[in-house]
Structure 1
């Protein structure tokens, strides 16, 4: 006889510890099989908004500007008003939440995805991988592309070495030997061969000189990780979870490193700024006050999730938070400032934009489920006139990328 599957209590069972209404919702959406009645409850602004509109769960709102006049990467959503403006929605259950479905054009999505994987995961931006692995200075994606051109990929794919022996103390003692490389003005070490050496070391990380005169510090691990080992670039891509833009973020303290600020990417800055401008009639936040100071790009594989949290690290709480979705659709939960309040589920599709301001800026939110197989057909290599896109699509078809932008001060 085969082994019996372990019994899993229902999501709302009192057998679960730390039971809150939000936690129940997270467990509900993380179940392997989602019942039809649960799927029917999701708010789908970009696919089928009518039921939510009829139930007053979504309310159409008019944007201040016609988005395509602000950026050639903006297009009207599937539904537009008589003036051609993209349809946006508020959610009465979540004051301050704005949803703009399908705002980013397919061409814009391709451009942001390519930059997120190829450019923004290389120094001076720091990823979750940099703490443990000595990524070549030209970046993970460059190494991954090299492996794709190998005739015998499985045999020839190079390994990315560990920075340390897997212990906190070992990481501190090895910090001075960590390799870094030039990342600007077209100069680079060929896969780290001519890498610079760190000049100073502290218990908080490795100080890295870069050509912008801003020192980049890679935080050291806070716990032992002796089970880690050298990995290939393709294996590293599956482990990629985040990269920081602008002010670098300390995931342990939930605070920004205000002394670590690489230049913010112009592409993402422009998109975020124009979104802020398009909704300034709703948020009351003038776009002239907006500065894209920090951003986090989250990379999700199909079984990944982001549990309930609040964004409380920014000093400026008047400025909205701007979020862009790419790739597979996801279930987004958002509630209030109290975990005991039941959140609402929203389906975020590729190209959708979400804005949090006002009360929603402090609301608990989570992403418990990626819906596999939902990467849109218009992003397939056959639909995109870009010879380089196939490699990016092969990653994206099983993943979701979220780019969120904040003003810190």
Structure 2
């Protein structure tokens, strides 16, 4: 599909799509726990609305999903043996049903795609390793000079195996000085992780203000995360990503992703608390085609074809819905000693929703 020439990155969303967004933003929390007629939940076959979705035979997943996940789990020195990794994947279904939305062709959902072990490992890599890499910028860099924690030994004490993480106790004393003391006050590591951190960029460092990518060469995309995404979604290349972090009460405004130099599909992976995802297009007649779905931890969404440039946003994060196996992260992760090492942060993830939004930048 060619890149549309009439898309403005600064345009306002259509009123009809905005109306659906606002409805779920204002909806009473108790009603989200019911079977809301306008909110699609594909976590069980009984909740599927056949008027809205159809089983897709277009988006094919690898034949051996378990091997793809095993390769990811053993792709770095994270003290996970092949036997342990295989055990963590035991019982995970080899095939995942993929659904396409009838009113928005090209919009696909992969319910429960990532098994628990892969979700935990992905969090470890993104928030311990990649967040501590100065090449990957965050929203905090806009107003603060960000100090980075020193590496600390992990595992059996081998100094060659180290982890530099903001969640380490040694990083608790870090102070983030403001670039303009007249506008902002210094913050601590606790404030950074609990309240201030809203997004991080991987690979191409997207400029949210200018709504464009810098002309300079981007830093390398994390190889193991790229390998996982490229294997699961071979119709696009992972070259840039935005990791969004939410708490209940946070939102992501309606927008379109139009800054890439190609129209390759967008991929979004959900971790943590449930989120309401609204996506829609306005036709030439002014009529809108809009869907709202409840995304759960481990789900993936692909926006391609006609839906590639659809308006989309997150009007709601549902409190109290983080899966139990993720709720104790980072004190429960994929490496030896996590329970003790990150005890002070136990339960951090229970109040978070994290989205990894991956895109291809170049044709």
TM-score, L = length of structure 2: 0.76
How many residue pairs get aligned? The number is: 308
Alignment pair present for 1:268 and 2:225: yes
Contact map agreement 2:13 2:255 (CA 8 A) in 1: no
1:26, distance to aligned residue in structure 2 (A): 1.6
Contact map agreement 1:240 1:299 (CA 8 A) in 2: yes
- For 2:118, the equivalent position in structure 1 comes to 108
1:165–1:380: structure 2 CA closer, same or farther, 3 Å change rule?
closer
1:295 and 1:104 mapped to 2: Cα distance? 18
Q: Aligned to 2:199, which of 231, 238, 242? A: 242
Deviation by residue 1:105-152 (Cα, 9 ceiling, x = unmatched) = 11111111122222222301111101211211338983442268x7xx
Q: Aligned to 2:265, which of 303, 320, 333? A: 320
1:126 and 1:273 mapped to 2: Cα distance? 23
1:71, distance to aligned residue in structure 2 (A): 3.1
Alignment pair present for 1:133 and 2:80: no
Alignment pair present for 1:292 and 2:238: yes
1:64, distance to aligned residue in structure 2 (A): 4.5
1:384–1:128: structure 2 CA closer, same or farther, 3 Å change rule?
closer
1:42 and 1:250 mapped to 2: Cα distance? 32
Q: Which SS does the other structure have where 2:233 is aligned?
A: helix
Contact map agreement 1:136 1:143 (CA 8 A) in 2: no
Contact map agreement 1:49 1:58 (CA 8 A) in 2: no
1:32–1:125: structure 2 CA closer, same or farther, 3 Å change rule?
same
1:384–1:118: structure 2 CA closer, same or farther, 3 Å change rule?
closer
- For 2:303, the equivalent position in structure 1 comes to 356
- For 1:199, the equivalent position in structure 2 comes to none
Q: Which SS does the other structure have where 2:190 is aligned?
A: helix
2:68 and 2:109 mapped to 1: Cα distance? 18
- For 1:31, the equivalent position in structure 2 comes to 26
- For 1:388, the equivalent position in structure 2 comes to 338
- For 1:160, the equivalent position in structure 2 comes to 176
1:402, distance to aligned residue in structure 2 (A): 0.6
Contact map agreement 1:327 1:397 (CA 8 A) in 2: yes
1:266, distance to aligned residue in structure 2 (A): 1.1
2:13 and 2:324 mapped to 1: Cα distance? 40
2:209 and 2:21 mapped to 1: Cα distance? 23
1:44–1:230: structure 2 CA closer, same or farther, 3 Å change rule?
same
1:384 and 1:245 mapped to 2: Cα distance? 21
Deviation by residue 1:175-216 (Cα, 9 ceiling, x = unmatched) = xxxxxxxxxxxxxxxxxxxxxxxxxxxxxxxxxxxxxxxxxx
Task: Give the number of the structure with larger relative contact order, counting CA–CA contacts within 8 Å between residues 6 or more apart.
Answer: 2
- Structure 1 unaligned runs (5+)? 1-16, 151-156, 167-225, 278-284
Alignment pair present for 1:48 and 2:59: no
1:337, distance to aligned residue in structure 2 (A): 4.9
Contact map agreement 1:113 1:401 (CA 8 A) in 2: no
Correspondence 1:3-82 to 2 at 5 A:
20-31=15-26, 33-34=28-29, 35=31, 39-45=36-42, 47-53=43-49, 55-62=50-57, 63-66=60-63, 67-72=65-70
2:179 and 2:142 mapped to 1: Cα distance? 8
Q: Aligned to 1:145, which of 168, 190, 199? A: 168
| Of 57-66 and 264-273, the range deviating more from structure 2 | 57-66
1:79–1:388: structure 2 CA closer, same or farther, 3 Å change rule?
closer
1:367 and 1:232 mapped to 2: Cα distance? 28
Q: Which SS does the other structure have where 1:111 is aligned?
A: helix
1:139–1:322: structure 2 CA closer, same or farther, 3 Å change rule?
farther
Deviation by residue 1:219-242 (Cα, 9 ceiling, x = unmatched) = xxxxxxx2x200111111111111
Correspondence 1:368-407 to 2 at 5 A:
368-381=315-328, 386=335, 387-388=337-338, 394-407=347-360
Deviation by residue 1:376-400 (Cα, 9 ceiling, x = unmatched) = 1222449766532655652211011
Q: Which SS does the other structure have where 1:87 is aligned?
A: coil
- The structure having more radius of gyration, on CA atoms, is 1
